[in-house]
């Protein structure tokens, strides 16, 4: 049945992904990557009627040089609680509650986010499974320079036996703050993972912020991180993701630690 409906689903997925992209792109130094939510979105969604709760913990541990120190805001601690509900077979909705410990030592509410995440196709059999994530962020100014933003994240995924490849091509449009008039920024990310054994999947994740599409800054003024991670599948309901990010440009010359702990009800 999937083989018969595959072409139609591909056309529908491209429409869902590309039409919002055309709208966003009508709407210039790079912004920092999102330390409240450091994850790669797959095309898979939470099963219909199920609820998944995740705790994202991220902290910059080191930043070398003035540019990186200003962009990465080292030693802040970010904790985000995410709740996701399987709305349909291929779509889920989610709500984020973000908190942070800032430089002044206060642990405060940082803001909230709402997402609609969808995906179609089987990455094991389709040439490329397709998906997308639409997200509205409404954060406090103490937490984000641009407190109101909209993100469109097209998703591409393909599995080759034990190897999984995922690309997230996020476009972000701020509506408040200093980045409002700079246009749409491009923040690509992705991963390559390998199922080593049934319960252990090492991966190399990548996160970047290339800056505004209208006037991309030079490579050293962009942010690019490589993140070796471990995914532990010890229980079907449990999600464990642990990683260390290493910056590879002047703007991102630093390190951070990340973890995701999730449970599906």
Task: Please tell me the number of Cα atoms within 13 Å of 32 on its side-chain side.
Answer: 23
pLDDT tier at 20, thresholds 50, 70, 90: very low
Comparing CA positions, the residue from 101, 86, 115, 95 lying closest to residue 54 is 95
**Collapsed DSSP state (helix, strand, coil) of residue 2:** helix
- Predicted confidence (pLDDT) per residue in 21-54, tens digit: 333 333 334 457 899 999 999 999 999 999 999 9
Pairing type for strands 163-174 and 185-194 reads: antiparallel
The whole-model pTM stands at: 0.85
> Is 233 or 16 the better-scoring residue by pLDDT?
233
pLDDT of residue 31: 58
Domains detected in the chain: 2-264 (2.40.160.40)
**Collapsed DSSP state (helix, strand, coil) of residue 43:** coil
- Predicted confidence (pLDDT) per residue in 212-247, tens digit: 998 889 989 999 999 999 999 999 999 999 999 999
Q: What is the mean pLDDT of the chain?
A: 88
Residue 198 sits at φ, ψ, to 5 deg, of -60, -30
220, 208 Cβ separation under 8 angstroms: no
Burial state string for 176-206 with b = 16 or more CB within 10 A and e = fewer than 16: ebebeebbbbbbbbbbebebeeeeebebebb
Burial class (CB in 10 A: 0-12, 13-18, 19+), 240: middle
- Predicted confidence (pLDDT) per residue in 192-202, tens digit: 999 999 999 99
């Amino acid at each position: 049945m999937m083989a018969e409906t595959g072409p139609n689903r591909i056309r529908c997925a491209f429409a869902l992904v590309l039409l919002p992209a055309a709208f966003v792109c009508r709407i210039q130094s790079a912004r920092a990557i999102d330390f409240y939510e450091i994850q790669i979105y797959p095309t898979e969604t939470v099963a219909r009627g199920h609820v998944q709760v995740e705790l994202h913990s991220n902290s910059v541990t080191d930043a070398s040089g003035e540019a990186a120190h200003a962009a990465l805001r080292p030693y802040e601690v970010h904790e985000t609680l995410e709740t996701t509900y399987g709305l349909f077979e291929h779509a889920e909705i989610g709500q984020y509650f973000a908190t942070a410990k800032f430089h002044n030592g206060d642990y405060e509410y940082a803001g909230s986010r709402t997402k609609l995440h969808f995906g179609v196709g089987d990455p094991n059999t389709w040439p490329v499974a397709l998906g997308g994530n639409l997200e509205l962020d409404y954060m406090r100014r103490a937490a984000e320079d641009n407190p109101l933003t909209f993100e469109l994240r097209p998703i591409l995924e393909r599995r080759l036996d034990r190897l999984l490849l995922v690309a997230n091509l996020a476009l972000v449009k701020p509506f408040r703050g200093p980045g409002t008039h700079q246009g749409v920024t491009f923040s690509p990310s992705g991963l390559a993972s390998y199922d080593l054994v049934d319960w252990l999947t090492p991966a190399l994740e990548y996160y970047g912020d290339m800056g505004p599409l209208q006037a991309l800054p030079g490579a050293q003024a962009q942010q690019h991180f490589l993140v070796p991670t471990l995914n532990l599948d010890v229980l079907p309901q449990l999600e464990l993701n642990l990683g260390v990010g290493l910056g590879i440009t002047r703007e991102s010359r630093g390190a951070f630690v990340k973890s995701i702990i999730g449970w599906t009800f």
